[in-house]
Structures are given as structure tokens and as C-alpha cells.
Structure 1
Amino acid sequence: MKRWAASGEALAGRYFRCSDGLIVRDPGISSMTQVLTGLIENGEFAEVLQRLD
């Protein structure tokens, strides 16, 4: 996340994602909401969080 903070990736290092999870750097509902809003605004929401059938 530190590397991405410098490069601007992953909303400036505010989250980490893997195939079955999403980790938000800062605790709290506000931080999670800001990350989800950023993913929606960048068009990455469906890529990061995939719907399960």
C-alpha cells in the first residue's frame, strides 16, 4: 500500500484487493465508503467486487 500511495494506484494506496477480498487501509465505515465511492467513480467497482451466483 505504501508503494501505491506514491504511484497513485489503488486510490493512492487506500485499499488492497485479492481474488476473494478487499482490505481498506484505514478503519471505519467512512473509510470503507470512500473507497467504494472511489471504485465506482473510477469504473473499477465491478472488477474489484464480483457478484456471486
Structure 2
Amino acid sequence: MSHPQIEAIMARWAHTGEGLEGRCFWCPDEHIVRDAGISNMIGVLAGLAENGELAQALHRLED
């Protein structure tokens, strides 16, 4: 996917409530957080955990 396509999806999700209201986008091997910074990344991870999506967004690697 191109950056403009992802930006359009995240903008749409800001209105529909998906992707933590457009704050993040994830698919296999790709995670995008709209706003930079550790506190924003922690907020997105916490939101995914609260919504029960964290296990889908992050995959445990085998040792």
C-alpha cells in the first residue's frame, strides 16, 4: 500500500472510530502510529489491548 492510501484510510477511520479513531493502522508486518513519540505509541498499544486487538496486531516470535 502507498502512503497516500494509508493516509486516506486513517483519515476515514478518524470519523468511523476504527483504528483507534484513525490513530493507528496495522496489517501483517506493518504498524503505523499517526503521531510520533513513545507516549503516543504506548497509548496506541494500550488502546489495542483494551479493544482486544493487541494479539492480532502483534505476533509472538518463536525463540
Please, what TM-score do these two structures have when normalized by structure 2? 0.80
| Structure richer in helix, relative to its length | 2
Q: Identical aligned pairs, as a percentage?
A: 60
> What is the aligned residue count?
53
**In 1: Cα distance, 2:59 partner to 2:13 partner:** 22
Question: Which structure carries more relative contact order (alpha carbon 8 Å, separation 6+)?
Answer: 1
* RMSD of aligned residue pairs (Cα, Å): 0.6
Instruction: Give the gaps of 5 or more residues in structure 1.
Output: none
Instruction: Give the gaps of 5 or more residues in structure 2.
Output: 1-9
Please, what TM-score do these two structures have when normalized by structure 1? 0.94
Q: Which has the larger radius of gyration?
A: 2
